[in-house]
Amino acid sequence: MTDVIATYYFRPREGVTPEWAAQAIAEEQTTGTWTDISTRQTYVHYLDGVVGEIRPMGGGYTCTIRYPAEIFEPGNIPQYLSVLAGNLFGLSRIAAVRLMDVEFSRDIVPFKGPKFGIEGVRKLAGTVDRPHVGTIIKPKVGLNPKDTAAVAYEAAIGGVDLIKDDETLTDQTFCPLGERLPLIMEQLDRVKSETGRNVLYAVNISTAGDKIVQRAREAARMGANMLMIDVIVCGFDAVRAVAQEPGINLPIHVHRTMHAAITRNPEHGIAMRPICRLVRMLGGDQLHTGTVSGKMEHDVTELRGDNLALTEPFFDLKPTFPVASGGLHPGGVHKEVSMLGRDIILQAGGGIHGHPDGTRAGATAMRQAVDAAVAGISPATYAEDHPELKRALDKWGIA
């Protein structure tokens, strides 16, 4: 069996050597504890974590730890996380630790990955090589089902490829999922008959662990063409459970609300990279990874690497579509495309529904910005004969 290699950044407290700190992590996460124990039989040692080369980085160090494949229970994601990212974060003699990346071995990836992947989602939406444009219905909560569907129609007819619920909208009484979903799908059918375009709607099925698969089944029965899961708050295994459910053949859009509590501190927590690898292996077809021009904190180098983790060869698993979202507007599109490429979903909530001429014009402006970026034309030049884009740039400027 092939071992799993995790890379950590860590900063020992004063007086603690990096060698001691790295060994303490390896032991805590595998066969040891804080002191010698008489019960660690010699036959147990094949499960020891092995510390690799320790290198200085920033104010601390990085090292790899090799975890024997046998320490993992195949398919048990909570158990994997407990080994790779468990108690180590609280060790008092280590001031900070961050799980930077994980090289999973095939032996512990008994998952099929995305059912659709980038190509499959493109096939559904009828696109070839351009970035997808998505929108989050805003306000994020409060609209009733009828008004939500009306906004969806406007966005779809204006040109978006994808509409999604916001992360806090699930099945509240002001907008029950069972009413909202059929009304939105009806509007998207209308758009299809008027334009021939198949627009996707990611309905947020996030809920309790013992209910999410049932909710996914109901959404599929009601005609959903995409499902959405808030992965951090639902748990990674929610994605696996829905993706592996026989009879549900829908792409899964994965939102990461709450991730910044874990990923944002560059010294402590879990970087986005391992989260990308997990979501891809568990069957997420689309995953939020951030923008280069938007409202959320980002590190461009990390972001590009995260998107690569979603798309580079990974056993035989399909690539996951990276999603750039958060404060995006037409004036930021060229920057996103030049930094992140064309295999990207560019989502705008405020950047579409805040357009001076409304949602439809906002959606059109985003599509025009994408067309300009793909054609290598500057947004300002393209806006000269594209009034929707012009109005957006006048309001928000060019990033």
Q: How far is the CB of 299 from ligand CAP (least distance, A)?
A: 12
Stated length of the chain:
399
Q: Does 166 bind Mg ion (CB under 5 A)?
A: yes
Is 255 an active-site residue? Answer: yes
> Token pair for residue 113?
């990955």
Q: How far is the CB of 169 from Mg ion (least distance, A)?
A: 9
3-state secondary structure of 133: strand
Judged by beta carbon distances under 5 to 8 A according to partner kind, the member of ligand CAP, Mg ion, none in contact with residue 288 is ligand CAP
> Token pair for residue 227?
């499902």
Amino acid letter for position 179: E
Task: Tell me which stretch binds Mg ion (CB under 5 A): 17-25, 68-76, 166-174, 280-288.
Answer: 166-174
Q: Does 296 bind Mg ion (CB under 5 A)?
A: no
- The Cα–Cα gap between 122 and 132 comes to 8
Judged by beta carbon distances under 5 to 8 A according to partner kind, the member of Mg ion, ligand CAP, none in contact with residue 348 is ligand CAP
Pick 113 or 134: Cβ nearer ligand CAP: 134
Largest pairwise CA distance in the chain:
79
Binding region for ligand CAP (CB under 6 A): 136, 138, 140, 166-167, 256, 288, 290, 295-296, 325-328, 348-351
Determine contact, residues 355/392, Cβ cutoff 8 Å. Answer: yes
Nearest 5°: the CA angle 71, 74, 76 is 95
Q: Catalytic one among 132, 164, 253, 255?
A: 255
**What are the distances in angstroms from CA 246 to CA 7, 115, 166, 216?**
35, 12, 27, 11
Judged by beta carbon distances under 5 to 8 A according to partner kind, the member of ligand CAP, Mg ion, none in contact with residue 225 is none
- The Cα–Cα gap between 371 and 393 comes to 15
Q: What are phi and psi of 222, to 5 degrees?
A: -85, 5
- The Cα–Cα gap between 61 and 222 comes to 52
Pick 21 or 328: Cβ nearer ligand CAP: 328
Pick 297 or 394: Cβ nearer Mg ion: 297
Amino acid letter for position 83: V
Q: What are phi and psi of 300, to 5 degrees?
A: -60, -40
Q: How far is the CB of 225 from ligand CAP (least distance, A)?
A: 20
Q: Catalytic one among 132, 138, 253, 390?
A: 138
Is 138 an active-site residue? Answer: yes
Judged by beta carbon distances under 5 to 8 A according to partner kind, the member of ligand CAP, Mg ion, none in contact with residue 296 is ligand CAP
Q: How far is the CB of 231 from ligand CAP (least distance, A)?
A: 10
Q: Does 260 bind Mg ion (CB under 5 A)?
A: no
Judged by beta carbon distances under 5 to 8 A according to partner kind, the member of ligand CAP, Mg ion, none in contact with residue 386 is none
Q: 10 pairs with which residues across the strands?
A: 61, 97
Using CB positions, name the residue nearest to ligand CAP: 349
Q: Which residues are catalytic?
A: 138, 255
Residues at the interface with Mg ion (CB under 5 A): 166-167
